[in-house]
Amino acid sequence: MKIVAGGASPLLASRLATLLKTELAKTTYREFPDGELYVKIEGIEEEDVIVVQSINTNNDLVQLLLIFDALTNRAESIVAVIPYMGYARQDKLFSEGEAISIRAVARLIESYVDKVVTVNIHSKEAMGYFKKLIHLDAMPLLGKFYEGRSITMISPDLGSLERVRVAAAHAKCRFDYLEKTRLDEETVVIKPKELGVKNEDVVIVDDIISTGKTIAEAAKLVLEAGARSVECACVHAVLAKQALNRLYSAGVRRVVATDTVEKPISEISVAELIASALKS
Ligand code: R5P
């Protein structure tokens, strides 16, 4: 068995290789002057292959398809570990005529692989478009990271409430939620609410931080409600468009994420979670 580390997930792939006591295949990734991608995978000979590649950009998706193609007729089986499944937020028709992006991505990926492993895909609807999916929950890991600290966890919206309930159970702390309305991809409004966080240390927990506007807005309300401090934690640190600056400027003291998307704030690793799923 070999592991192919996609360009988006080299650290997680090497952590998995260590845990599974297996080797990383030799890979070459290049970009041509016109932006097209080039992929070469060496040393695969009729064996099982685990490909590890998060989809955080369009190039990540194209590179993944080229990796699958490079493995054609060489891999006995392919398991695609896609720790962050991009495009999952477009999981239904929000208006007539749209693409259901995750449906297209699911079809494409599953046409090449035997199994797909992912972590906290955005919604049950998105999950429903896969037939070969093994779905893993990193919320217990986020919770354990805070175990022993006297905090209150806050979900910025109803959609993340169930996730935050799980994290809070593992952190052994209390939790509450806010109610967010998204006006468009750049604008969120959160209803003020009695939170009972006066003089509390608060951690806002979400599945994804993209622009950071959701957490920044939630942090503002939490601080206005008298919290002593605000931190935030997420599974997927997508961090588009100056998100970290936005969060720190909103008064968030610390931002923590897993390594599903590899960023300097990826302090929590999902490698053991994925390795045990692959072993079983
Ligand atoms: C939305 O439903 C998700 O759970 C996140 O709250 C959202 O993706 C965060 O996006 P942003 O950081 O751009 O506000």
Three-state SS string over 136-184 comes to ECCHHHHHHHCCCCCCEEEECCHHHHHHHHHHHHHHCCEEEECEEEEEE
Confidence of residue 107 (pLDDT cuts 50, 70, 90): very high
One-letter amino acid at 132 equals: K
Atom 10, ligand 1: residue with shortest CA distance: 210
Query: Is the Cβ atom of 160 under 6 angstroms away from ligand 1?
Result: yes
Give the single-character DSSP code of 25: P
Span from the CA of 84 to the centroid of ligand 1 (angstroms): 14
Give the mean model confidence (pLDDT) for residues 98-124: 98
Q: Does residue 215 have a pLDDT over 70?
A: yes
| Burial environment of residue 214 by CB neighbours within 10 A (0 to 12, 13 to 18, 19 or more) | buried
Q: Does residue 37 have a pLDDT over 70?
A: yes
What is d(CA 32, CA 37) in angstroms, rounded to the nearest whole number? 6
Query: Is the Cβ atom of 86 under 6 angstroms away from ligand 1?
Result: no
Confidence of residue 194 (pLDDT cuts 50, 70, 90): confident
Going by C-alpha positions, the residue among 11, 1, 5 that lies closest to residue 237 is 11
Could you tell which of 84, 183, 207 is best to mutate to test the pocket of ligand 1, judged by most ligand atoms within 8 Å of the CB?
207
Longest dimension (CA), the chain: 61
Q: How far is CA 44 from CA 1, 28, 39, 242, in A?
A: 9, 14, 14, 40
Query: Is the Cβ atom of 91 under 6 angstroms away from ligand 1?
Result: no
What is d(CA 214, CA 195) in angstroms, rounded to the nearest whole number? 17
Q: What angle do CA 223, 227, 230 make, to 5 degrees?
A: 70
What is d(CA 51, CA 67) in angstroms, rounded to the nearest whole number? 8
Q: How far is CA 184 from CA 169, 212, 213, 264, in A?
A: 32, 14, 11, 28
Residue 108 in tokens: 């494409």
Q: Does residue 239 have a pLDDT over 90?
A: yes
Q: Does residue 184 have a pLDDT over 90?
A: no
Give the mean model confidence (pLDDT) for residues 50-73: 98
| Mean pLDDT, all residues of the chain | 96
Query: Is the Cβ atom of 207 under 6 angstroms away from ligand 1?
Result: yes
The pTM score is 0.95
